[in-house]
Amino acid sequence: MQNTYSIKPIAYIRNDFPDKFGIPRQSSLINTLKAEIVFEPEYRNPEAFRGLEDYSHIWLIWGFSENMKSNWTATVRPPRLGGNTRMGVFATRSPFRPNPLGLSSVRLESIEPHSEHGPILHILGADLMNGTPIFDIKPYLPYADSHPEASEGFAGPLKNYSLRIECAPELLEHVPSDKQEALLAVLAQDPRPSYQNNPERIYGLRFAGMEIKFRVENDVLYVIHIKHL
């Protein structure tokens, strides 16, 4: 059997997250987050997209391009468990894996014909950083891919956790109107590592060309400052 395989990106994602901090922990948690998938020249043939418009959702197979760790370990410390408890790497979605591959389901909003860049996919709900390489795209099939009865392991109990956002209207005015809903949803998901609970600590999140400063006390996130970068 072949021991090694060579794969290369077919596309890259463009969105409002220049950093890892603040990206939703899973795909489809925030369906107001918009992104584009722009293909490499070799894969811009419109024939490769024939029939894709008939699907509402797609799978993205992508790479953890910011994973700087060269070696993998059998166990990792999921932030969801406080960053101290170790679990088997195959029981988590940690980026530190034998092969740094990610899998996300996203909504396909539209396919835009583009004379220079070929077809561009407009998607919603991605949990990727700007510039993340995409290795493959496949249609999402509800009858085969959805399992409502599935058990969720240690990741399930906190899925509905959400913060209340306190943001002065004059601060929110710095955010373009078409980005406000998505930003507030990102903040409500609590971007902090789950093991950090210092109410005095100020966090900075970069989103859509802005820097947002905030702190969290109890279950309330207070936006302190918003400025354009």
Whole-number pLDDT of residue 208: 96
Residues 173 and 133 in one domain: no
How many Å separate Cα 130 from the centre of its chain? Answer: 9
| Assigned domain for 26 exists | yes
Q: Residues for the chain: how many in total?
A: 229
User: What distance, in Å, lies between the first and last C-alpha atoms of the chain?
Assistant: 51
Whole-number pLDDT of residue 81: 79
| Assigned domain for 211 exists | yes
Tokens in use for 95? 């980026």
Whole-number pLDDT of residue 211: 97
Whole-number pLDDT of residue 161: 74
Whole-number pLDDT of residue 160: 62
pLDDT, one tens digit per residue, over 51-77 is 999 999 999 999 998 766 667 889 988
Whole-number pLDDT of residue 36: 97
d(CA 57, CA 183): 22
d(CA 128, CA 107): 14
Q: What does pTM read for this prediction?
A: 0.91
| Assigned domain for 155 exists | no
| Assigned domain for 40 exists | yes
Out of 145, 179, 198, a domain closes at 145
Residues 140 and 168 in one domain: no
| Assigned domain for 186 exists | yes
Number of domains composing the chain: 2
Full residue range of the structural domain in which residue 197 is found: 164-228
Residues 124 and 171 in one domain: no
Contact 16, 131 (CB under 8 A): no
Within 8 A by CB and 6+ apart from 48, the residues are: none
Q: Is 128 exposed, middle or buried (0-12, 13-18, 19+ CB in 10 A)?
A: buried
Residues 136 and 210 in one domain: no
| Assigned domain for 104 exists | yes
pLDDT, one tens digit per residue, over 173-200 is 999 999 999 999 999 999 998 778 899 9
What is the DSSP pairing of strand 34-39 with strand 120-124?
Answer: antiparallel
The three-state DSSP-derived secondary structure of the chain is: CCCCCCCCCCEEEECCCCCCCCCCCCCCCCCCCEEEEEECHHHCCHHHHCCHHHCCEEEEEEECCCCCCCCCCCEECCHHHCCCCCEEHHHCCCCCCCCCEEEEEEEEEEEECCCCCCCEEEEECCCCCCCCEEEEEEECCHHHHCCCCCCCHHHCCCCCCCCEEECCHHHHCCCCHHHHHHHHHHHHCCCCCCCCCCCCCCEEEEECCEEEEEEEECCEEEEEEEEEC
Phi, psi of 16 (to 5 degrees): -100, 10
The domain that holds 207 is classified in CATH as: 3.30.2310.20
Digitized pLDDT (tens) for each residue of the chain, 229 residues in all:
667 888 999 999 999 999 999 999 899 999 999 999 999 999 999 999 999 999 999 999 999 987 666 678 899 888 777 778 899 999 988 888 889 899 999 999 999 998 789 999 999 999 999 999 999 999 999 999 999 999 988 777 555 678 999 999 999 999 999 999 999 999 999 999 877 889 999 999 999 999 999 999 999 999 999 999 8
